Structure 1
Amino acid sequence: MTSTTVTAPATVRGKKSALPSAWSLGLSRGALELKQYFRLRDQVIFTFAFPVVFLALFASIFSDDVKDAGITASQLYAAGMLAAGIMSTSFQSLGISIAIERDEKVLRRLRGTPMPPAAYFLGKIWMVLVTGTAETAILLGVGSGLFGLDLPTDALSWLTFAWIFALGLTSCALLGIAISSLPKSGKSASSVVVLPFLILQFISGVYIPVGTVPDWLLNISALFPLKWMCQGFRGVFLPDSASVLEQTGSWEFGKIALVLGAWCIGGLVLCLLTFRWKNRRDA
């Protein structure tokens, strides 16, 4: 009878293999989130087309209304469409999707795995960053190629655009994670998240020029990131002479940085205080 020797795996006795870091797991999680996102083709098409279609409508309908101001309608409305697109792919997308995942007990199952909680949120942030960047690039490309949108030509303007984009995306993503705990179920998530987003679009200068919005509504919108993203992007795409159209008569880039930075911190605090892995009825 021949004896068979079983060889143990080549491991160093007394040492454990290093576990992946939260950062590397977050990258892997982000890749998975993107695969799941782009598999929903109808959602991707409508999400990416939304700001482009509205820019096309406004650029066509109001083309004659801004001629005397020395700017094009596409310049005036591109800022609002960019800001709304960023908030759509971050605040709205995360607020709804996380609430649905919680309702379907996906979060509960993930919490029971060895994956660090930070990796889950990093995955969501990576997904938002990629989709937000892609949507912004598409909007700028279509606006420039078809509707006469004049893109900045100096490095300082693009640098300003970059930090407004980064702070705006981060603050809105954190707010989306925080508001995801508000709906009682995944079915009600759309109503809970979309309504405040829709109201903010009307009072923050997305669809209606800020010069025609009452001051008391602008003061309310100033409490949230969307108004400041719109104002900052207008400062990038419009000439300095157009700053007289703003509520204070200036672009206020310093204040924009402070408010968006404060919302990044405040959004993180809200996430830490409110986020739940289970539904209230399962607690």
Structure 2
Amino acid sequence: MTTVVTRTPSALGLGFARAGIELRIFFRQWDAVVFTFALPVVLLVMLGSIFTGMYEGSPVTVSQYFVPGMIAGGIASTTFVNLGSSIAADRDDGTLRRLRGAPMPPSAYFVGKALMALVVTAIEVVLVLAVGVVLFDLSLPSSPGRWFTAVWVLVLGTAACALLGIAASGLARSARSAGAVFNLPYLVLGFCSGVFFTPISALPEPILQLGSLFPLRWMAQGFRAAFLPDSILSQEVVHSWELGKTALVLMAWTVGGMLLALWTFSWRSHRDR
């Protein structure tokens, strides 16, 4: 008699399979695809075209200054806003409840969502950088150290915003309300973090302090450290890139977001509780 041994797929393998499903679902929704990728690009083109000129003592133009901040804003949009909204929609239409009852570890769902967000975020970053280079003559970094800074800011910022999106998904009582729940704090923090305003040092002190509490401000500053020359430091709040502090804040929000997600996440919708 031949014994057939069946191997149970690992949670990571199931997560990759789930990521493929999530990506197919995302790219089939052409309206969501267009608006997701167009938002930071359109904002960059508009703001970069409206605000022109060059900073005193630096070869950086106002248009180029917007590019790193818009990269950070695009990451927050694809992770915090879109990821949180999609989870709220999955909860509202019963997808989460069905997946919870399936023979699949819960971690596979989150791995799939995280990988989907990472792929979409990477495309978003490439698009915004391309616009900055082609339209506003942004020079890409020539040193490995600056590219390394861009990579770790991207990884930590994506992780922090994605976990906060998962944690905040429970605030939306339905799929219809998810847009308002996520877009309001995103827009407010975008202004407080210097994403839609230049330079950040010109913001009023109370707004600066509010923005400094959240990861978006530090993501934008980290990307400026990677893509802009040190001559622009005179426009920063403390005339320093504060990369050590940036890493600590983003890591703290990553850990805090994970704890918040574990505490607040629910597989059931509000009407089922």
Q: Would you say 1:277 and 2:267 are equivalent positions?
A: yes
**How many Å separate the matches in 2 of 1:32 and 1:17?**
23
Q: What RMSD over aligned residues (CA atoms) do the two structures have, in Å? A: 1.4
Aligned pairs (5 A) from 1:27-176: 27-64=16-53, 66=55, 69-176=58-165
Instruction: Identify which of 253, 258, 271 aligns with 1:268.
Output: 258
**How many Å separate the matches in 1 of 2:166 and 2:3?**
41
Shift of 1:68: 6.0
Q: What's 2:14 paired with?
A: 25
Q: What's 1:11 paired with?
A: 3
**How many Å separate the matches in 1 of 2:95 and 2:227?**
42
Contact 1:151–1:237 (8 Å) recurs in 2: yes
Instruction: Identify which of 193, 196, 199 aligns with 1:204.
Output: 193
**How many Å separate the matches in 2 of 1:46 and 1:69?**
34
Contact 2:58–2:231 (8 Å) recurs in 1: no
Q: What's 1:178 paired with?
A: 167
**How many Å separate the matches in 2 of 1:46 and 1:150?**
27
Provide, for residues 224-269 of structure 1, a one-character-per-residue CA deviation record: whole Å limited to 9, x for no partner: 1100001111111222121121222211000000000011101100
Equivalent residue pairs, number:
272
Provide, for residues 199-242 of structure 1, a one-character-per-residue CA deviation record: whole Å limited to 9, x for no partner: 00011001112122111111111111100001111111222121
Q: What's 1:221 paired with?
A: 211
Q: What's 1:244 paired with?
A: 234
* Letter paired with 1:30: A
When structure 1 is superposed on structure 2, of 138-147 and 247-256 the one drifting more is 138-147
**How many Å separate the matches in 2 of 1:139 and 1:160?**
17
**How many Å separate the matches in 2 of 1:134 and 1:252?**
27
Contact 1:74–1:148 (8 Å) recurs in 2: no
Shift of 1:146: 2.6
**How many Å separate the matches in 2 of 1:237 and 1:258?**
20
* Letter paired with 2:147: W
Shift of 1:65: 5.1
TM-score (norm 1): 0.92
When structure 1 is superposed on structure 2, of 86-95 and 67-76 the one drifting more is 67-76
**How many Å separate the matches in 2 of 1:203 and 1:103?**
31
**How many Å separate the matches in 2 of 1:173 and 1:251?**
24
> Of the two, which has the highest radius of gyration?
1
Shift of 1:62: 1.7
Shift of 1:81: 0.5
Distance 1:69 1:62, change over 3 A: farther
**How many Å separate the matches in 2 of 1:199 and 1:59?**
20
Shift of 1:145: 2.0
Higher helix fraction (1 or 2): 2
Shift of 1:58: 2.2
**How many Å separate the matches in 1 of 2:173 and 2:151?**
36
Unaligned runs of 5+ in 1: 1-7
**How many Å separate the matches in 2 of 1:60 and 1:275?**
41
Unaligned runs of 5+ in 2: none
